[in-house]
Amino acid sequence: MTYVDLKDIRVSYDGKNNILKDLNLSIEKGELVSLLGPSGCGKTTTLRVIAGLIEPNDGAFVVDNKNLTRVPVHKRNFGMVFQSYALFPHLTVKENIGFGLKLRKEDKTTMNQKIQDILDVTGLGELGDRYPKQLSGGQRQRVALARALVIEPKLLLLDEPLSNLDAKLRVQMRIEIKRIQQKLGITSVFVTHDQEECFSISDRVAVMNNGVIEQFDKPEEIYNRPKTEFVARFIGFENFINLTKQGEQTYTTSEGHVLKTGHRWEDGKQVATIRPDDIVILPNGAEQRTNVIPGKVVVRTFLGKSYQYEVDTTVGKILVNGSKETAYPSGEELLLYFPEEKLILV
C-alpha cells in the first residue's frame, strides 16, 4: 500500500526553468527508496520537497493519506540526515540527540532512556558526552542518524549521507544504515549519485534526470533491464547501436548485420545496448553468424580484472572487456559476439 505519494510535483525557482517536472513517486511503508542521478538531476530538490524545506509550485505531497504539501517543515516529524551531518557544534552528542525530544516535551527519564537506546542501536555507546569535533567522520554520521531516528519519525530522509566518508567506512556505514532501517522498519528516502551504494541498500531505485524520474524499479531490474538510454548510460552500458526492425525480435544494423535479442521491440525504441563485460570475443576464424560483428582493436587498456578494448566496427566504436589471459594488440581483427539475452533495447 502506498504510504508516501508525490503527485505531479513541479518546482521552479525562477518561474521559467523547472527543476522538477510533474514528478510522481509512490513509496510503500517500510521501504528504502533511493533517488539516483547525476548532480543537478533534481534528486536533492525532491528530497527537500519531501522534507518541507522547499514548497513545490504545483502538485501534492501525501503521507499516510494526509496531504502535507503546505505543512511546514517543523510540523512534519521527518528525520533528516544531511551530507555535512549538520551536528550542532555547541552541543554534546547526547544534547544533539536530545534536541528533538526536548521540543516534544518528553519527561527526563523517558528522554534519557530513549537517548541511551538509540546510542546503543547506533553503536555510539560511550560517546554521549563528547562534542562533535571530538568525533571521527563515521561517528558523526552515526550521531546524525541517531538524532534523526530518536524522534520516531514517519520518514527518514538521507541526503548523500556517505559521500564524506572514506571508501571502506562508506561500505560499513551503508550496511549499518540498512540494518538499522530494517530493524526499525522505517520508511526511508536515500539520495545518492553512487550506483553501487544505491543498489546495495535500496528496495527500489528511482533514476532521475533533468527533474524527471526515468525509471523506478528494483535494483536488479534497473541493473539488468534499463528502460531508457539515459539510465543505461548512467549504470554502465557503454555501447549503443542503432537498429532497424526486421521481424519479431530480429533487427539489422545500418550495415546489414543481423542482431537478435531476447527482448521485444517496443514502439519508439531503436537502439540496442550492451555492457562491455557482456560482449564475448570469439577466437579468430570463427564462423560468421547472427549477433556477430567484426572489428579492429584501436586501444587496449588494463582494468585490473580484465583488459578493455576499444574496437572499431561498422556500427561504430564498441567497448569490450576481455580476459586477462590473452592480450590482443592494437590492430588485431576480432569477432564480437553479442549474446541475445544481454542485448537490451532502449
Q: What is the size of the binding site for another protein (CB under 8 A)?
A: 27
What is the rounded distance in angstroms from the CA atom of residue 222 to the CA atom of residue 207?
A: 9
Residue 58 C-beta: closest distance to another protein, Å: 22
User: Do 240 and 271 contact (CB within 8 A), yes or no?
Assistant: yes
One of 7, 51, 62, 203 touching another protein (CB under 8 A): 51
Q: How far is the CB of 35 from another protein (least distance, A)?
A: 17
Binding window for another protein (CB under 8 A); candidates: 49-57, 63-71, 165-173, 304-312: 49-57
CB closer to another protein, 53 vs 258:
53
Q: How far is the CB of 261 from another protein (least distance, A)?
A: 47
CB of 86: closest distance to another protein in angstroms?
A: 4
**Shortest distance in whole angstroms from residue 268 CB to another protein:** 41
Contact between 26 and 4 under an 8 Å Cβ cutoff? The reply is yes
**Closest distance between another protein and the C-beta of residue 148, in Å?**
8
DSSP 79-122: EEE-TT----TTS-HHHHHHHHHHHTT--HHHHHHHHHHHHHHT
Partnered with residue 63 across adjacent β-strands are 4, 66
Of residues 52 through 111, those in contact with another protein by CB under 8 A are: 52-53, 73-80, 82-84, 86-90, 99-100, 103-104
Query: Of the two residues 87 and 213, which places its CB atom closer to another protein in the complex?
Result: 87
Three-state secondary-structure class, residue 113: helix
Main-chain phi, psi angles of 18, to 5 degrees: -90, 125
Nearest CA-CA partner of 281 in 322, 317, 325: 322
Give CA torsion, residues 23, 28, 30, 34, to 10 deg: -30
Task: List the interface residues with another protein, window 147-176 (CB under 8 A).
Answer: 147-148, 151, 157
Where does this chain touch another protein (CB under 8 A) — which range of 145-153, 205-213, 257-265, 333-341? 145-153
Q: Which is nearer to another protein, 50 or 231 (CB)?
A: 50
83 vs 306 by CB, closer to another protein:
83
Per CB under 8 A, contacts with another protein among 256-315 are none
Which of residues 145 and 272 has its CB atom nearest to another protein in the complex? 145
Cα separation, 128 vs 91, whole angstroms: 11
Report the nearest approach of another protein to the CB of residue 145 (Å): 12
Nearest alpha-carbon partner for 154 in 76, 46, 45, 54: 76
Nearer to another protein among residue 191 and residue 259 (C-beta): 191
Q: What CA–CA distance (Å, rounded) separates 342 from 339?
A: 5
* Torsion on CA atoms 165, 168, 173, 179, rounded to nearest 10: 170
Based on CB atoms, which residue is closest to another protein, 150 or 231?
150
Query: Helices in 150-185 by DSSP H: which ranges?
Result: 167-184
C-alpha cell recorded at residue 231 = 539510465
Query: What's the min distance (Å) between Cβ of 158 and another protein?
Result: 12
Collapsed DSSP state (helix, strand, coil) of residue 45: helix
Given the complex with another protein, which of 144 and 241 has the nearer CB atom? 144
Rounded distance between C-alpha atoms, residue 191 and residue 214, angstroms = 15
- 149, 81 in Cβ contact below 8 A? no
Which parts of this chain interact with another protein (CB under 8 A)? 51-53, 73-80, 82-84, 86-90, 99-100, 103-104, 147-148, 151, 157
